[in-house]
Amino acid sequence: MMQTRRLGPFSVSSVGLGCMSLSHAYGNPPDPKVAAEVLLKALDLGYTHFDTAALYGFGANETLLGNTLMHRRKEFTLASKCGMFKNEAGIRSIDARPEILKQTCEDSLRRLKTDVIDLYYLHRWDRKVPVEDSIGAMADMVREGKVRALGISEVSADTLRRAHATYPIAALQTEYSL
């Protein structure tokens, strides 16, 4: 039995599965069938925290999780991220305007084939938008029942404090976290 840890309001396996490399980055991703097998095996082994993002494979990773895991949705905590994705020109873009975050959430819910994301991160702070505005829009998603808890990635302690003053931040993700 895998040990568990608290992640915001959730109890999750002490080791979670970051799903990015199944669709994006760190070399060539595996065949989708192999990627699906990895996800299912992780769940069978006791992993209960799966982390994805709209950016990973420009939506392909969320689609992979939606197609593979959602029939077992009650068995795991689902984390995804918004604010960094493929823009209309087809390139990676950071855009955390409230209206964009709300649309990204709807798109993610559709790809993930779920009605709620357990932990939703602001993937990157868009310095053109006050963090309070971005987190405020995400707090609306919690109130609407589309998201259960909020996280934020790659920010300073000051920005984290400002975000948390807007709405409680359950998790901070940094690229070099242990």
Q: Which pLDDT score, from 0 to 100, does residue 174 have?
A: 84
Task: Place 134 in a pLDDT band, splitting at 50, 70 and 90.
Answer: very high
pLDDT (tens digit per residue) in 10-61: 999 999 999 999 998 888 999 999 999 999 999 999 999 999 999 999 999 9
Question: What distance in Å separates the CA atoms of residue 78 and residue 61, rounded to the nearest whole number?
Answer: 13
Q: Which pLDDT score, from 0 to 100, does residue 114 have?
A: 98
Q: Which pLDDT score, from 0 to 100, does residue 178 have?
A: 55
Beta carbons within 10 angstroms of residue 66's beta carbon: 19
**Mean pLDDT for the stretch of residues 96-124:** 97
Question: What distance in Å separates the CA atoms of residue 151 and residue 163, rounded to the nearest whole number?
Answer: 9
> Does the pLDDT of residue 1 top 90, yes or no?
no
Burial (Cβ within 10 Å: 0-12, 13-18, ≥19) of residue 58: middle
Give how far the C-alpha of residue 148 lies from the chain's centroid of Cα atoms, to the nearest Å.
12
What tokens appear for 4 in the block?
Answer: 């568990």
AA identity, residue 94: I
Q: Which pLDDT score, from 0 to 100, does residue 46 have?
A: 96
pLDDT (tens digit per residue) in 68-78: 999 999 999 99
Q: Which pLDDT score, from 0 to 100, does residue 106 have?
A: 98
> Does the pLDDT of residue 177 top 60, yes or no?
no
Tell me which of 178 and 91 has the higher pLDDT: 91
Task: Report the half-sphere exposure of 141 (CA within 13 A, side-chain side).
Answer: 33
Report the b/e string of 71-86 with b at 16+ CB within 10 A.
eeeeebbbbbbbbbbe
Q: Which pTM was predicted?
A: 0.95
Three-state secondary-structure class, residue 115: coil
Q: Which pLDDT score, from 0 to 100, does residue 176 have?
A: 62
What tokens appear for 16 in the block?
Answer: 């979670």
As annotated, the active-site residues are 56
